[in-house]
Structure 1
Amino acid sequence: MSGAVACRALPPVAAAVDEALVRLDAEIDWLLALNPVGIDRLWDAFEASGRRALPPLQYLDRSVDLHDVRERLLALPVDAIESPLLSGLLAEKQRELERQIELVRLRGTDGFINASLDLFGDVSPSLLTLAREILECVGPDAPLEADAGIDEVLDAAQGELDWYRERCPGFDCEIVASQELSSLMMVSHGKFYIDANIRVPRARIQPLLQHEMGTHIVTRHNGSRQALRQLEVGLAHYDPLQEGLGVLAEYLSGFLPGARLRMLAARVVAAQMAIHREGAAAIFDVLHRTHGLPTDDAFDVTVRALRGGGLTKDAVYLRGLRELVHYLREGGNFALLFIGKFALSHRVVLDQLVEEGWVTAPDALPRYYATLAESDRLDECRSLSVIDLYHKEPQA
């Protein structure tokens, strides 16, 4: 690793717009803006209601002036960018950021679902069918004790970061233990957040770290080495590939339990129900009673689907995994997916960017990719269907 060739600089106007979009992306930070706080209190209230009513979700106060951000975003001279290729990519990202601003602005209103659909798309019938097949066919796992807490997870995360730092100069991220997180782990704008109250089976620590650090942080690092810095923060519509890679990383690093695949399928079902404005009681009941998710998982998926008023992003995990499996089955190059954050639909454009000298090979590759055993697993993935992509027990 760390042998990448330096890129050719972008033309002046393109470079200025690219940098401005990176700054604006950081200001919007829609993911944190839609992260509910006080999850334990929500569950207590939901349980006290007989699992019939969920109190309004609470969020951190917005500190950004969305109107000002939008004005600065739309004032960028995209039409003056010297290269039509770069102009198209940066205009596409400008439009996506405007949709993200709208998503945050409409948080907690009736208009939020439409803004979410505009940004992340609908749940297609074929994806919903796949999700239901997984929930029907993939059985529950043998129980594993949640024997690891925050100290062990933080030590493992720091060890992972040290491994990359030794091999790739400039590789870095801030690791933050947070009391107010609706996920076990998440990456937002280069910061790696871990739930301070986390309890997981020890066998799941590395797979989860490979999802977050081995995918989201590695691609962010590689993107930061490119002339086009959108590859650091993400070209438009990059989420499905990122999340598909993250889930596949869990499989390739040795333990993607059936319960995890069922969780991704449940998120699709919950997103589809949220789109149709079904409430917490109905979503929880379908996930828990109909599909057999444990109460904590069913509640977690329910709350995630109702973030902001109905967030459809969670459907992209299974959608991205399905698209990635198809890409691998067609013989796609796995290592090139770590150049930065982009959508599979950008592959042809990326080839052109490489030809122009604005994009170069990845500086870092995931730690799990370095061993023969994981390479064998990757070959196996090229012939598996999504519904078979899980483990009944941790792999050696």
Structure 2
Amino acid sequence: MPLNPRPPQPLPPFAAGVDRALAEMDGEVDWLLALSPIDNEAMWNAFADSGYREMPELKYIDLETDLDDVRRRLDALPIGSVESPLLRRLLDEKRREMDRQVELVRLRGREGFRDASVALFGGVDAGLLECAREIMRDVRPGAPLKADAGIDEMLEAVEAELDWYRESCPGFHAEVVVDTDLNSMMMVSHGTFYVDGDLRLPHARIQPLVQHEIGTHVVTRHNGSRQPLCQLQVGLADYDPLQEGLGVLAEYLTGYLPGERLRVLAARVVATDMAMQGCGVPEIFDLLHNTHGMPTDDAFDVAVRALRGGGLTKDAVYLGGLRDLLAHLAGGGALEDLYVGKFALSHIDALDELAEHGWLVPPEVLPRFFHQPGFAERLERCRSTRVVDLHHEVPVA
């Protein structure tokens, strides 16, 4: 993806209008928050009190978005008038993906949700399931480390990270929200960094996770905001696998991706497959905890995530995205180019065309871990490493 550092060229008028409208609507449909369960502590207590046999019904935030109105506006977009065939195709892909996101949120907790999720994120292919099972069978957790860090240490690291980027890019920004009822330890949604106020983790995991969330998701959003095509900020269609693959790779390149983290990603694939087969939280929890030896909190978290909304298949993209990213690197693909914005590996040829038209410029900033000692050696190692071997026994000094 050769990128010319010349000034970016504006999109044609019709394309620019559709692009802006899609980006604005993308911010209205926060499907990730809409599908994140609430009252998580009470949910766990009820499940544990039942002897891990009965799961209470998942609860969610109230929906405030008028989904029918969003769908009408999506349908009304003049995609056919977009001047460039390339831009027309990319924008139509995004319009159709957003329509599927609206449908996914509409079907939350209802029949048809699982099929809508597969239509949006795909399912679990046989090769990925076998890879996940191999990891669960052969990868052992890393050396035990004390969970000696909490929310204060995490926030300090996040603010230091944001300050580092602001020194070279004054416009670099991410809102930070602390939530004690978060279904994940941390996540970035629409540029906002959410973190569990009750989190406890080893100090050695702070920087890898900061690089996953800030150094990947926020950095690519920032670089995408500098592009003529707004979709590179909010995400071209099917961008999730590459984003999560980059995020997990960042943990390894930062120096500590422990075996238990890789096992969690593999467990998510196994749990997703089980949810697609109609299994519930108790069955998934039992397999992960009693058969594979996962701690109760991890097994429960993975099982609940797989059943979000009625069976959300997104969790399979973490391991799948990492697998595909390693294949890209093994084939000689550059890593730096993958930070120009949010897109899928399948878009690389399209990005080459965007660059030829002047509609793509180099990333303004690269992740901080690119500047760490030993980065080049770790990256080179990734080009010949299988997914099952991509983990550390102890933190790299």
TM range, smaller chain: over 0.9
Query: 1:190-339 alignment to 2 at 5 Å?
Result: 190-339=191-340
Following superposition, the deviation at residue 4 of structure 1 comes to: 5.6
Following superposition, the deviation at residue 262 of structure 1 comes to: 0.3
Any idea what SS the aligned residue of 1:393 has?
Answer: coil
Q: Which residue of 1 aligns with 2:383?
A: 382
Could you tell me which runs of 5 or more consecutive residues in structure 1 were left unpaired when the two chains were aligned: none
Alpha-carbon distance in 1 for matches of 2:372, 2:149:
25
Any idea what SS the aligned residue of 1:186 has?
Answer: strand
Any idea what SS the aligned residue of 1:192 has?
Answer: strand
Q: Which residue of 1 aligns with 2:45?
A: 44
Any idea what SS the aligned residue of 2:28 has?
Answer: helix
Any idea what SS the aligned residue of 1:27 has?
Answer: coil
1:28 and 2:1 aligned = no
Alpha-carbon distance in 1 for matches of 2:322, 2:54:
33
Following superposition, the deviation at residue 195 of structure 1 comes to: 0.5
Q: Normalising by the residue count of structure 1, what TM-score does the alignment of the two structures yield?
A: 0.98
Percent identity between the aligned chains? 61
Q: Which residue of 2 aligns with 1:355?
A: 356
Q: Which residue of 1 aligns with 2:173?
A: 172
Alpha-carbon distance in 2 for matches of 1:288, 1:50:
13
Q: Which residue of 1 aligns with 2:101?
A: 100
Any idea what SS the aligned residue of 2:176 has?
Answer: strand
Alignment length (residue pairs): 394
Q: Which residue of 2 aligns with 1:153?
A: 154
Contact preservation (8 Å) 1:5, 1:361:
no
What letter is aligned with 1:50? G
Q: Deviations over 1:214-244 (max 9, x none)?
A: 0000000000000001000000000000000
Could you tell me which runs of 5 or more consecutive residues in structure 2 were left unpaired when the two chains were aligned: none
Q: Which residue of 2 aligns with 1:130?
A: 131
Following superposition, the deviation at residue 375 of structure 1 comes to: 1.4
Alpha-carbon distance in 2 for matches of 1:327, 1:49:
46
Q: Deviations over 1:180-228 (max 9, x none)?
A: 2111110000001111111110000000000000000000000000000
What letter is aligned with 2:108? R
Alpha-carbon distance in 2 for matches of 1:182, 1:279:
17
Task: Tell me: CA distance 1:5–1:192, structure 2 relative to 1, closer, same or farther (3 Å).
Answer: farther
What letter is aligned with 2:186? M
Alpha-carbon distance in 2 for matches of 1:4, 1:161:
25
Alpha-carbon distance in 2 for matches of 1:281, 1:177:
29
Alpha-carbon distance in 1 for matches of 2:360, 2:184:
33
Following superposition, the deviation at residue 277 of structure 1 comes to: 1.1
Alpha-carbon distance in 1 for matches of 2:376, 2:300:
36
Alpha-carbon distance in 1 for matches of 2:231, 2:351:
12
Any idea what SS the aligned residue of 2:145 has?
Answer: coil
Any idea what SS the aligned residue of 1:175 has?
Answer: strand
Any idea what SS the aligned residue of 1:122 has?
Answer: coil
Q: Deviations over 1:103-130 (max 9, x none)?
A: 0000001210000000000100110000
What letter is aligned with 1:219? T
Following superposition, the deviation at residue 5 of structure 1 comes to: 4.4
RMSD: 0.9
